[in-house]
Amino acid sequence: MTPVNRLAAEKSPYLLQHAHNPVDWYPWGAEAFDRARLEDKPVFLSIGYSTCHWCHVMERESFADPDTAAVLNKDFIAIKVDREERPDLDQRFMAVCQSLTGSGGWPLTIVMTPDQRPFFAGTYFPRSRRWGRPGLLELLPAVAESWRTRREEVLSSAGEIAAAVEFDADALDLGAINAGGGLVESVSGYDPLTLAIALSKPEADRPPPVRR
């Protein structure tokens, strides 16, 4: 039988498109963050919309893939958001991605602490390395290893990122759908992809921080 996750109870067409993924998706809400705190796991947030081409590609390649889902389910609490349903979240997290990477788009990929402080941002990632992009099967274990073994550095980076983009996690509404939250324009010099992979390596093998 095709698995059904929590998104099956949602009304958004985009979220319902992911209701049969093997990923243990949560909709945005307190339940997901409570579990992240309880299990001491980072939150993997994916934001998209129903007519987004690359959102569908990433769903088909990665979120419908049992191997990718197994990594996400083991090491992360996964949240799926429809940007048309939650424009406030989309604006705030897109600001983080643009500040960290210099660009943005959908699907939007964010990894954050259980208290909603982002420390990794990007857009589309393939299942496996392609077109010069690391795949999720490479990236997710590196991020998870950083969280487990370089926690102090990850939290420090999350704090610096929040300060750089004036990101206020307390302002994020965990409940009712609403619009709001202006797009901030501060730009930091962090390359979070390099940071995540570098932090997962032994100290002697880690390159110096990359800044743009």
The per-residue pLDDT for 212 is 33
Residue 202 has pLDDT above 90, yes or no: no
Residues 209, 120 contacting (CB under 8 angstroms):
no
Q: Answer whether residue 212 is part of any domain.
A: no
CA distance 135 to 155: 24
CA distance 64 to 48: 15
The predicted model gives 172-183 an average pLDDT of 35
pLDDT single digits (tens) 48-94: 999 999 999 999 999 999 999 999 999 999 999 999 999 999 999 99
Total residue length of the chain: 212
Q: Answer whether residue 200 is part of any domain.
A: yes
The predicted model gives 155-159 an average pLDDT of 88
Task: Give the pLDDT band of residue 176 (cuts 50, 70, 90).
Answer: very low
Q: For residue 63, what is the domain's CATH number?
A: 3.40.30.10
Task: Give the pLDDT band of residue 200 (cuts 50, 70, 90).
Answer: very low
pLDDT single digits (tens) 32-49: 999 999 999 999 999 999
Q: Answer whether residue 82 is part of any domain.
A: yes
Q: Answer whether residue 211 is part of any domain.
A: no
Q: Answer whether residue 1 is part of any domain.
A: no
The per-residue pLDDT for 172 is 56
Q: Answer whether residue 12 is part of any domain.
A: yes
Residue 126 has pLDDT above 80, yes or no: yes
The per-residue pLDDT for 211 is 35
> What pTM did the predictor assign?
0.81
Q: Answer whether residue 185 is part of any domain.
A: yes
Tokens of 9: 């109870």
Residue 190 has pLDDT above 80, yes or no: no
Residue 120 has pLDDT above 80, yes or no: yes
**Domain boundaries, position 130:** 6-205
Task: Give the pLDDT band of residue 109 (cuts 50, 70, 90).
Answer: very high
Residue 179 has pLDDT above 70, yes or no: no
Domain count of the chain? 1
Q: Answer whether residue 19 is part of any domain.
A: yes
Between 108 and 187, the higher pLDDT residue: 108
CA distance 106 to 146: 25
Other beta carbons within 10 angstroms of residue 38's beta carbon come to 10
Residue 201 has pLDDT above 50, yes or no: no
The per-residue pLDDT for 182 is 23
